[in-house]
Chain A
């Protein structure tokens, strides 16, 4: 349902915000004073008039009370001084253009969150061990919280462009290791190979190989999930 082209749904916030805007404009900013003098200003004006006649001084000359005289020339002058300001604001709000990357470039984003192997592998607790534990903590497996760091290499068209090891997250080193890196590549065919290593091992625990063809301005992301392994979005 619409009233004067505005959805009724929108009228509710207008009714809520309207009085707030009105209050801000008239009270906080004091737009109301544009139309009338305050009592204090009226009193000062009265005092000036009295003094001017009593002392023969022109209080109107005081900087504090001097009323700005707006002549046509002054208005033109103000316009001329506003102009460069407006040109600067207008131009630099959109220009010059920023070239993030040249034409015929594409982006490959590597965003992998991987769990390293546990530092001490899980083992099955004996019956005696389980008996000594409180009932609520009797888990069959005993696992260390700490995990090994994970290292990955990213090979692009035969060149290793990324080789980094990441510690597990968390104060106890019990979280996943995260990798995030972007690569700008020329549009076209590319061969991607990601190797995942556990700790200082030289043999990868997982390898992902995929050929892709990227168009100019295309962006792909390589992510990892426990179920699917590395996937390209």
Chain B
């Protein structure tokens, strides 16, 4: 199911990529969009609070006044409503997408686990907002909520008794509801901050173009279809038919159908089940990266590149002349290997047997990488030699992009021999391996492939690779490597055919390139 869901997202993302350039694709910015929508809700909420009357008798009229002032307060009210609804849609899509991508595994459990209460608080924030309009829907929602709470039996007196008749609801109780609607969203913001606190440079703001287009879209819907209220609440009546906000109130019809006990059981059951999803993957968690102090000079590159803040630079503990050393937090490490690619000692141009580097992965050490790439390149070179003047290309790919074996078998060019080598994340590939493949492995070309543009599973791996190739980030790919022999292809597993075509075209273009182009 997870794989199907992931493929669905890949297709949706591809569709959105056509209209929004990669960086603006809202499907890849669901988390930041949820943050942005929160700010719209907060901003519009502060505005309408200024004109909101917090008494039972005046609340409805003040909301109606705002609705009638369609050009300002009315827009703000509608923005408040629609941005809140959009936040539910975006948050649920974010949850589904992260689930489909398996982004709850390993150290990412923390973001997943803290995301669950966000959903509760989001719903609670929205529901408490519906109380304040004090129309018939508010009456239905308020009574339903209190009945749900009363089932717990934790209150000495039934809270729902506050809504028995017009005489039982007081301004004081209503003010309490207003405060709930202010403090629950504030607490929601606090948990949202908690949700991203273990991420390095968390993206909490979408690109400005996306902000603008989102606001325009929400203003359009606010003008075309402004939010309105039902008739004023009247506790001597019961509303039989309600225009319903299904995003926030979907649980209430269920509550009416099955009662409070089963609803609590269902709510708690689903919450526990969703919360413990990361537990199911804990057994297969790969071992964390480790530091070899004798090779670590405390350059800080691994700490700077780690997308999960799993590496900290601490004072030197082994007496060597350097100030600091890298220390890995195994609980925060997801074994993406980006630190290995960042370490300047991670180079295959060495003759020592151990191939020890400053920081390495137990599951795929630098030595293993070198041995494997030498082996696959030799096979490819031999195959290319067997057909005469054939071309050999090595493809470095990641575990979350296209399937490398399928890519290899999809390229059926007699003159082109393809070697493939997988790493946990493309960011794990030290740029010196590209140099090595061309200068020592006698490859005619190198392809580096990974997740789609701006869609790196490990957040920054793709950016660091490009920056290293473009000499914007250490360790750089040396200038002597002819860039025309190098191709980056960012593709999802569903883009196999396209990636195969690009690789084949690249391979075919290579024979025209002479080898006297500066490679030492």
Instruction: Write the residues of chain A forming the contact surface with B, with a CB cutoff of 8 angstroms.
Output: 10, 13-14, 17, 20-21, 24-25, 28-31, 33-34, 44, 47-48, 51, 55-57, 59, 62-64, 66, 68-70, 74, 77-78, 80-82, 85-86, 88-90, 92-103, 105-107, 109, 111, 113, 169-170, 175, 178, 180, 182, 216-221, 223, 233
Contact = CB atoms under 8 A, between A and B. Distances in A.
A17 B51 CA distance: 12
Given A97-B243, A100-B239, A218-B236, A68 B20 contact: yes
Interface stretch (B110-118, B217-225, B271-279, B324-332): B217-225
Contacts of A233: 164-165, 167-168, 236
B16 A81 contact: yes
Instruction: Give chain A's interface secondary structure class.
Output: mixed
B237 A97 contact: no
B267 interface: no
30 contacts: A10-B50, A13-B49, A29-B205, A48-B472, A51-B470, A59-B470, A62-B467, A68-B24, A74-B21, A77-B19, A78-B19, A81-B16, A82-B217, A89-B221, A90-B221, A94-B243, A95-B243, A97-B241, A98-B241, A98-B244, A100-B238, A100-B256, A101-B240, A106-B238, A178-B158, A216-B240, A218-B236, A219-B237, A221-B164, A223-B164
Contacts, number: 189
A232 B235 CA distance: 13
A149 to B, nearest CB: 14
A31 B491 CA distance: 32
A81 B147 CA distance: 41
Given A30-B205, A89-B89, A111-B160, A24 B42 contact: yes
A103 B240 contact: yes
Interface of B: 15-16, 18-24, 36, 39, 42-43, 46-47, 49-51, 81-82, 85-86, 89, 140, 147, 150, 156-158, 160-161, 164-165, 167-168, 205, 207-209, 211-213, 217, 220-221, 224-225, 227, 235-247, 249, 252-253, 256, 453-454, 462-463, 466-467, 469-472, 479, 483, 490
A100 B242 contact: yes
B220 A86 contact: yes
Nearest to B220: A86
B374 to A, nearest CB: 28
A219 B221 CA distance: 36
Contacts of B472: 44, 47-48, 51, 59
A100 B140 contact: yes
A48 B462 CA distance: 18
A170 B237 CA distance: 33
Contacts of B471: 51, 55
Contacts of A82: 213, 217
